[in-house]
Structure 1
Amino acid sequence: MVNWLSETLYPAWEQRFRVDEVLFQEKTALQDLVILKNEMFGTVMMLDGVVQLTEKDEFVYHEMLAHVPVFGHGSASRVLIIGGGDGGTLREVLRHRSVTHVTQVEIDRAVIDMALKYMPGVSAGAYDDPRARIIIADGIRYVAETEDRYDVILVDSTDPVGPAEGLFTEEFYRNCKRCLTENGILAVQGGVPFLQPEERTLVNNRMKPSFRCSTSYIISMATYVGGPMTLGWASDDPSKKTPDLAVLEQRYREAGFSTRYYSPAVHIGAFALPPYIAALENGPA
């Protein structure tokens, strides 16, 4: 009998994965973690019944979460990652030679351990990089208390339920702003607006009080179903959002690495929001 596992994110619609092999399944102290093999998508990680990443398309999310703010900033050397225990965001940030230090704050050590064991290609050695400092702690508390400052902060989180709910509050974004250097950039996971319109509005409305510019940019992933996904973007310097294309192309060339989804042109185009998504920027809280 063929076994299928359904994602439980939406009450009236689902996607399913054929389970070719269960590699790991355990309810940790914080989350229900499942790692499985699927012929089409490779290794798949699910938390609390929701797909977090697959080997097949994780590069889309991780490249765009990392490179849009880092290339947009232009001189980022210190980066903070909240969450992202699979290591994909860390991997992409560390590809930038200009980055001299990355702090990653992950609340659940089991996510890192299981990703390293069953999906080592996602982090691709990033956890061994001497520029990386890994802290197992609550990211909400970290940004409220740390005295460290960062040029870019990336919030690689699940949706605003359960352990991640506090990562979507006005207070959290205010504390992130406190941890940024002048004109630093905050980028966050922002949901699929066609199916989660309230999440896009919530993120933008709660960023606004702390930043001069808050908006979103879009990516397209096979396993984050329901249309384009948004990533939230905020800074006091709107010019860092979409620098001139020639400037981005020069930064990309000088970085000396290639990407599979991100490009300077895609960077700029990602901020061109379809009207139904743009309308959510100023929707009701």
Structure 2
Amino acid sequence: MGLWYDETFGDHIRLGLRVKETLFSGESPYQKIEVIDTVGFGRVLVIDNIFMTSEYDEFLYHEMLGHPALTTAPSIERVLVIGGGDGGTVREVLRHPEVKECVMVELDELVVEVSKKYLPGIGTAWDDPRLDLRFIDAIEYVKTSKDEKYDVVLLDGTDPVGPGAVLFDETFYRGCKRMLNDGGVMALQSESPLLMMDIFVETQRKLRRLFSEAHPYLGPVPLYGTGTWSWTWCSDTGEPLRPIQERQEAIVEGCKAYNAELHQGMFALPSYVKRALKL
């Protein structure tokens, strides 16, 4: 049968990928990093034994994280990306011609180095002059930075374990909001409502305490456990279902998943999620 790499969820679910070869395995000061070449998903980035992204389905995640916020914010000249060391999120940000500067804050430099070498098809915007890549602590940055505020903040963190756990803390979300301009939009990955309902619901509660508008939306990411994933759109003003048409038209031709119809549909929540959130 060959070699299989398994990701386990608690003690009751296991997702396995058939591996052709391991391209990289190493450890940074923060975490274990691997890249495996698989039969079904192509090259896959694995951090601390958790599947992060794959060549096969990464667009489903990165387009959904970025474009709902980027097409609805009043301005998108300055964008902050926290995490996202594979480069897929900044790639989507920088496809918007209105973006003048994208600051990416990533703690682990090795994740970026490995992604550049082994996942070049995902991170295609590393050389864009609008990208300002900083290897610093995002927690401290959003808490103390005196930089000019941002129009959009995108949180592309890992699961709430290990060094990524602090990226789900309400204090951190408050710091991210501090970095937003008035009327700005924040979007983040907010876990699976099927596999991690408790974390999903608690995340929504935290965001609703901080923002006047916090709207989860769903989409498929086959690499992630149950295949159903969530993101959340947050702002004190605005409306997630009113994208700027010209912005959509400027990028939709290059998208594999995102389009005007999908933008509307992904915010329609199934009944089990609405009940959990008491909507």
- Map of 1:1-285 to 2, 5 A cutoff? 2-124=2-124, 126-148=125-147, 149-239=149-239, 241-243=240-242, 248-255=244-251, 257-282=253-278
How far did residue 248 of structure 1 move? 4.2
How far did residue 101 of structure 1 move? 0.3
CA distance in 2, matches of 1:100, 1:203: 31
Contact 2:73 2:238 in 1 (8 A): no
SS in 2 for 1:123: coil
Q: Deviations over 1:29-74 (max 9, x none)?
A: 1111111101211101111111000000001111111111001115
Contact 1:205 1:282 in 2 (8 A): no
Contact 1:152 1:185 in 2 (8 A): yes
How far did residue 75 of structure 1 move? 2.5
Contact 2:66 2:89 in 1 (8 A): yes
CA distance in 2, matches of 1:230, 1:262: 15
How far did residue 161 of structure 1 move? 1.2
Q: Which runs of 5+ in 1 are unaligned?
A: none
Q: Deviations over 1:219-251 (max 9, x none)?
A: 111111314210022100142x110xxx64443
RMSD value over aligned CA atoms?
1.5
Q: What amino acid does structure 2 have at the position aligned with 1:106?
A: E
CA distance in 2, matches of 1:95, 1:153: 16
CA distance in 2, matches of 1:143, 1:280: 30
Query: Normalized per residue, which structure has more helix?
Result: 1
How far did residue 200 of structure 1 move? 0.9
Q: Deviations over 1:195-226 (max 9, x none)?
A: 10011112111112211011211111111131
Q: Number of residues paired by the alignment?
A: 278
SS in 2 for 1:40: coil
- Quick one: structure 1 residues 29 and 274, their matched pair in 2 at CA, closer, same or farther if it must change by over 3 Å? same
Q: Deviations over 1:95-139 (max 9, x none)?
A: 000000000000100000000000011011x11111000110111
How far did residue 257 of structure 1 move? 4.2
Q: What amino acid does structure 1 have at the position aligned with 2:117?
A: K
How far did residue 279 of structure 1 move? 2.6
How far did residue 82 of structure 1 move? 0.4
SS in 2 for 1:72: coil
Q: Deviations over 1:237-281 (max 9, x none)?
A: 142x110xxx64443224474211001111111110101122333
- Quick one: structure 1 residues 254 and 53, their matched pair in 2 at CA, closer, same or farther if it must change by over 3 Å? closer
CA distance in 1, matches of 2:275, 2:204: 11
CA distance in 1, matches of 2:129, 2:260: 28
SS in 1 for 2:72: helix
